Amino acid sequence: MLYSQARLLRNMELSDQAIFPYYHTVSNDDLPHVKHIYPIKDEKQFIADLEYLARKYKILYPSVFMECLLNGKPLPERSFLLTFDDGMSEVYHVIYPILKSKGIPAVFFLNNSFIDNKNLFYRHQISLIVNHLLNEKTELSALQKAAELLKTAFDGTDKLISEIRKVEFPFHGVLEQVNELLGLSSEDFLETTRPYLSSAQVVEMKNEGFYFGGHTVNHFPLRKLSPEEQKKEIIDSVKWVKDHFDIPYSLFAFPFSDKGIRLSLFESLYEEFPGLVLMGNSGIRKDTAPRMVQRFSLEDPNYSAEDTIPVALAHAQVNKLIFRNKIRR
């Protein structure tokens, strides 16, 4: 409802709180591994977002952000800090040059299983399969066998695509079998397209002052893991980023959602990394977990930052009125 009034909200007085928008990637190109799971902005739209943020907000440097969170200081009023998830290659080729030219800092959250293009995120694999089914002619027998693997009857390509989209952890292993039936290869895609950052690219960006944190090892939905598995995915990710890139600070962003994460997990993470700062993606809300900061997406190409931010702030005010502005663990 609020988005339908986005343009009317553009002139509203912005609140003084710090904001934390996030993206995954930005590109002028068609990205087959992304396009069927979420839409993205092109460079022109991204630059327009940055220009709006620069007009309306002050830059929040990651070092200041960390200092405030770790020392219980208030964040600078009406400031912003950009974050980017998943370590996509466009971070280096598109986003990094733009941010550098404008003097805007950011934090990038990495999955160590993907860096250096070692493995393909299963959601990206889903998008590639869907793209193939939509654009390539496939033998009926292969389609029927793919449907069998998904434990459904073949009833047309559209139905098969719908079933492919539903594949989730821990059943994502079936995607490699579907790949084989369709003549696709994750290894070939990783080798030729190189969809993720390399370690050398991360080092270059780190040396330019950009910050990096963990985003779990494998980008599994944490709600489907046991508490011990959740803890291991997070600790191994943060530790790898720190050790691999010689990073003194500790940052982590939850993949998919932080919904249902218990306070006991936060406490065990703080024992492992006393200076850890965490980020979620539940919109502009407070959190009962200490040093846990919530973010909101600016990725939808149908809405500019000028549309999205006033709506997000208005939504936060509504949540406050109905006592839903704080996430309780």
pLDDT at 5: 56
Residue 288 has pLDDT above 60, yes or no: yes
Residue 12 has pLDDT above 70, yes or no: no
- State the pLDDT confidence band at 1, using cuts at 50, 70 and 90: very low
**What would the pLDDT profile of 159-186 be if each residue is shown by its tens digit?**
999 999 999 888 888 999 999 999 999 9
- pTM score, whole prediction: 0.93
pLDDT at 29: 97
Task: State mean pLDDT over 138-154.
Answer: 93
Give 200's contacts (C-beta < 8 A, 6+ positions apart): none
Domain boundaries, the chain: 15-119+196-327, 122-191
Say how far apart CA 125 and CA 286 lie, in whole Å. Answer: 34
**Chain center to CA of 46:** 16
- State the pLDDT confidence band at 141, using cuts at 50, 70 and 90: very high
Mean pLDDT of the chain: 94
Task: State mean pLDDT over 253-276.
Answer: 94
Residue 118 has pLDDT above 50, yes or no: yes
Say how far apart CA 225 and CA 228 lie, in whole Å. Answer: 8
User: What is 15-119+196-327's CATH topology?
Assistant: TIM Barrel (3.20.20)
Q: Which two tokens stand for residue 282?
A: 């539940």
Looking at per-residue confidence, does 267 or 317 come out higher?
267
Q: Where are the alpha helices (DSSP H) in the chain?
A: 6-9, 43-56, 62-71, 90, 96-102, 122-135, 140-149, 157-165, 174-182, 186-193, 199-207, 227-244, 263-272, 305-321
Residue 74 has pLDDT above 70, yes or no: yes
